[in-house]
Amino acid sequence: MYFIANWKMYGDLKSIKSLNKVIKFTRLNKRKKFKIIYCPPYTLLDSFSKKIKKTKIELGAQNCHFEISNGPFTGSISPTMLKKIGSNYVIIGHSENRSTGETNAEVNKKIKSSIKSNLKVIFCIGETLIEKRKKLTNKILYKQILKGLYKIKNLNKILVAYEPIWSIGTGVIPKIDDLDKNVTFIKNVLKKHLKVKNPKVLYGGSVNPKNVENLVSIKAIDGFLVGGASQKAKNFIDIVKKTII
C-alpha cells in the first residue's frame, strides 16, 4: 500500500517536526509492507531529502516543467533538478494544476520527461461534479488516461491517483460501490488498452483517519493520496495504521 502526503502550498522548516514523527513510526513498523512518499513544496525538498536518508520514506515533488533539464522558464523546476535533489517521485496532472490550464497534452509531456529523468510519476485523474452528474465519469477518465499516457513506454513507473475533483478538500468521499467501480474501470483501461500487467491505482480526496476504515474495504485500491490530513503527523499515521495494522 502506498501513502502519499501531498502538502500542497503549506509547510515551512518547522514542519520537519511532523516528518520526524512519521519517520519514528516507520522505524517502529519496519516489518510491515507499506510505502510512504512525502511531497512537500519545492522549498522543503532539500531539507526533507536530508531527513529521510536511511529511512523507508521516499520523496516526491508536486509538479515539474516538461523541459527535462534546463531552459529559460522562469519560476519552473525540471524533472532532472528534482531527481538531483533526492526526489524519486513527482505528482503530475493534479486537478489544482489542470484547473489553471494544464492540458492533457502538457501532462503527457511532463510524464515523458519525468520518466526519462528516472522519476516515478503519480498521475492524477478525476472528473468534476458536473461530469459525474452527467454520467461522464468513465468517458473523462478514459480520455485522461489515453491522452496523458500517450506513447509512454515505462508504464510500470506510473502510479495512477484517482481523485474525483468534487472530493478534494471538501470532506465528501464517493460511495464505496462507485469508487470500487471507478478504480476497477481505470485498472481495466490500463490493462486492456495500454497492456499494463499490474496497474497500481490510488484513491485521493478527503481521506482522513475516520473514512479510511471504509475505504480500505475496496480491494482494488493500492493506496491513498492524502492532502489536508497528511499535514498533521498523527492523522497521517492513523491513516496508515488503520490500513495496514
Q: Does 41 bind ligand PEP (CB under 6 A)?
A: no
Q: Does 183 bind ligand PEP (CB under 6 A)?
A: no
Task: Give the integer Cα–Cα distance in Å for 65 and 114.
Answer: 9
For residues 94 and 187, which CB has a smaller minimum distance to ligand PEP in the complex?
94
Q: Does 225 bind ligand PEP (CB under 6 A)?
A: yes
- For residue 75, give the C-alpha cell: 519560476
Size of the site for ligand PEP (CB under 6 A): 14
Indicate if 58 belongs to the active site.
no
- For residue 51, give the C-alpha cell: 531527513
Report, in Å, the least distance between residue 153 CB and ligand PEP.
26
Q: Does 226 bind ligand PEP (CB under 6 A)?
A: yes
From the candidates 58, 65, 94, 131, give the one annotated as an active-site residue. 94
Evaluate whether 93 touches 122 at the Cβ level (below 8 Å).
no
Report, in Å, the least distance between residue 39 CB and ligand PEP.
9
User: DSSP for 44-55?
Assistant: HHHHHHHHTTTS
75 Cβ contact list (under 8 Å, min separation 6):
none
Task: Give the integer Cα–Cα distance in Å for 168 and 159.
Answer: 18
Evaluate whether 62 touches 6 at the Cβ level (below 8 Å).
yes
Indicate if 163 belongs to the active site.
yes
Active site residues: 94, 163
Contact positions vs ligand PEP (CB under 6 A) = 6, 8, 163, 168-169, 204-207, 225-229
